[in-house]
Chain A
Amino acid sequence: MTKFEEKQPSVSVDKLMWMYEQMVKIRYYEDQMVEAYTEGKAPVFNIGEGPVPGEMHLATGQEPAAAGMMVHLTKDDTVTAPHRPHHHAIAKGVDLKKMTAEIFGKETGLGKGKGGHMHLFDPQAKFSCGGIVAAGIPHAVGAAMANKMKGKDWVAVAFIGEGAANAGAFHESLNLAALWNLPLIIVVEDNSYGISVPKTASTSVESNDLRASAYGVAGAYVKDNDPVAMYKAAEEAVNRARNGQGPTIIEIETFRFLGHFQGDPELYRDKQEVPGLRARDPIMKLRQQLLDAEHVNEPELEEIENRAKKEVDEAYQFARDSDYPKPEAALDDVFTS
């Protein structure tokens, strides 16, 4: 057995490879979005200009939370995500072309251009996200309720940032889900900052898995942005939920390589911090682990990486080639007939 296998005997290679591919895809997608977002905003940055206007919150560095959870989910399981949703959407299997078209404001987008980057809805993938902190948690509670009412073993996962764990909706939702024994999982991505406010200045406990006992639910903590550790914590939580044993809070220490939003001057952050985080890049680490354990060789990895990049490039091209909606379409879809 290799050192790698000794340390993590229970994770199948297939699933590791799947996770690796998702993480690479997400990273490349976010890197491409940095470029696309910058277009049209020079020489003076103007948030309302360019093919991708408005706010942009990228998940570069936060890939393990998404990959390590979605590996256990099917199309029947529900995911809700916050204003930083791309990694969740991609790993959940959201239609990448329609998602990108939505971000570009095109009529072929998931929401016909009406929602934008913070409001991506893909019912086929049971994925939704929104711009109000913690608002997605009650939605996941509802999906979990519906699953239970239908007699299914489907679960619902709410992804939030560590800032959201201090919002009222977090506490109400946990109490309710615990009380009614719902198949809910909350994944807290601790990227250290709620915009500019560090966790130490916002949260009364060291990590939110410690809050689990206050609600009578299970808690788990994942250190160092480790996708394999996330895989294991998620596996336990998903099994617990599927077996009718109630909710789990998983907190994962993750890294926000970029600002809160694109254009964030990040004056609240030490200049050494991000290079330090980049040196602990989870994708680089996993790549090396896979090679070291000889699960895969260099050409195979490149094939995966090229496949992922091709899918992303095609999605961006689809978005650019698509048409904008007709202006009067703004009046449609308020109500359904």
Chain B
Amino acid sequence: METAKKRMLTGNKAMAEAIAQEMENDKNVFVIGEDIGKYGGIFGSTQGLMEKFGPERVLDTPISETAFIGAAIGAAAEGMRPIAELMFVDFFGVCMDQIYNHMAKIPYMSGGNVRLPMVLMTAVGGGYSDAAQHSQTLYATFAHMPGMKVVAPSTPYDLKGMMTSAIRDDNPVVFMFHKSLQGLGWMDQLDYAVGHVPEESYTVPLDKANVMREGKDVTIVGIQMMTHFAMEAAERLAKDGIEAEVIDLRSLAPIDKDTIINSVKKTHRLVVVDEDYRSYGMTAEIAAIVSEEALYELESPIKRLAIPDVPIPYSHVLEDFVLPGPTQIAETVKQMMNEA
């Protein structure tokens, strides 16, 4: 009996497929952003869409984020379902008012009477020497502001499923995709950027973390590239007889506390790994949640790995120093186990 060959797609193709399928299902879905038309998105997230749906539904814009993201908000209020792309998350500065004061607050301020069923998708991440203004993730910056869902998938399967959920969701969703996981021909060719993606439409929830690897000795919570690094570290640790449970956070807001706490109840040790700046971020939030709700489950202090509070430097040796990696994760766990 022949087993069906699994269909493999790159991260960016998975995203584009989700968008295409939703655009076919619903005439109100349209895409707007810079170089998302003919170019197919700088990171390939909208490849093939313009050919399929034409320039009326796939709109290339000038460099005018306040105008076109604000326009997406206005269109959403009129019942359209826009997908706006902010090319690099680092560019949020030029249009953040529209995002956090309007997109995130209008539904609330209107007592739920105005709905903004829009997706703001944006590329995040570094590690390829794009320096301070083009390498950030800013997970915490967006997760901190109430009123918007914030997700950050790590696999092609989740990229498609969560994009589909995001488009169908009547709330504003900030959809952060990691550049290194898009499967771009001009970046480092990573295995993680390619994965099984079913052809049919399917959804993945926007509020659930995913246990990627089960283990009994320590819980490592990661996000996007940090999840993959945590998996690498887990493999190394297994050789030393340490079994790590790796959780892919996937959703920053709302955050899946239950999955994390259930894991900590099992392992009693927690390491959180983030590709954002350390202070006031994801690692702090998870540490606070576990301290509040599962303090007595812990056998040792929580360890936080993140970018030290410095802008991301350009030079390779400096960037390497500030970004957490598999070696650092594994060493941190070993230290924790020895401290017991």
Q: Which residues of A contact B (CB under 8 A)?
A: 44-49, 53-55, 102, 105-106, 109, 111, 113-119, 130-135, 163-164, 166-169, 194-197, 201-203, 263, 267-268, 324-331, 334
B244 at the interface (CB under 8 A from A): no
How far is B61's CA from A90's CA once the two chains are assembled, in angstroms?
32
Contact B128 A54 (CB under 8 A): yes
Contacts of B108 in A (CB 8 A): none
**Interface on chain A toward B: helix, strand, loop, or mixed SS?**
loop
- A263-B186 contact, Cβ under 8 Å, with A53-B316, A116-B131: yes
Contact B133 A130 (CB under 8 A): yes
- With CB as the reference atom, state the residue of chain B lying closest to A201: B60
How far is B128's CA from A47's CA once the two chains are assembled, in angstroms?
6
Contact A330 B35 (CB under 8 A): no
Q: List 21 A-B contacts (CB under 8 A).
A: A46-B188, A48-B127, A48-B129, A55-B130, A105-B129, A105-B314, A106-B315, A113-B313, A113-B315, A118-B131, A118-B134, A119-B314, A132-B133, A167-B63, A167-B65, A195-B35, A196-B39, A197-B61, A202-B61, A203-B62, A324-B316
Most B Cβ at <10 Å: residue of A46, A163, A196, A330: A330
Contact A325 B311 (CB under 8 A): no
Contacts of A49 in B (CB 8 A): 188
B189 at the interface (CB under 8 A from A): yes
- Within the complex, which residue of B94, B128, B313 is in contact with A168, where a contact is CB–CB below 8 Å? B94
Contact B94 A132 (CB under 8 A): yes
B310 at the interface (CB under 8 A from A): yes
- A115-B131 contact, Cβ under 8 Å, with A106-B315, A327-B318: yes
B276 at the interface (CB under 8 A from A): no
How far is B317's CA from A326's CA once the two chains are assembled, in angstroms?
8
- Within the complex, which residue of A48, A106, A331 is in contact with B308, where a contact is CB–CB below 8 Å? A331
B101 at the interface (CB under 8 A from A): no
Top 3 closest A-B pairs, CB basis? A116-B314, A105-B315, A113-B315
Bitwise, B34-55 to A at CB < 8 A (1) or not (0) is 1101110010000000000000
Contact B318 A114 (CB under 8 A): yes
Contact A53 B63 (CB under 8 A): no
Contact A164 B308 (CB under 8 A): no
How far is B35's CA from A117's CA once the two chains are assembled, in angstroms?
23
Contacts of B2 in A (CB 8 A): none
Contacts of B129 in A (CB 8 A): 47-48, 53-54, 105, 116
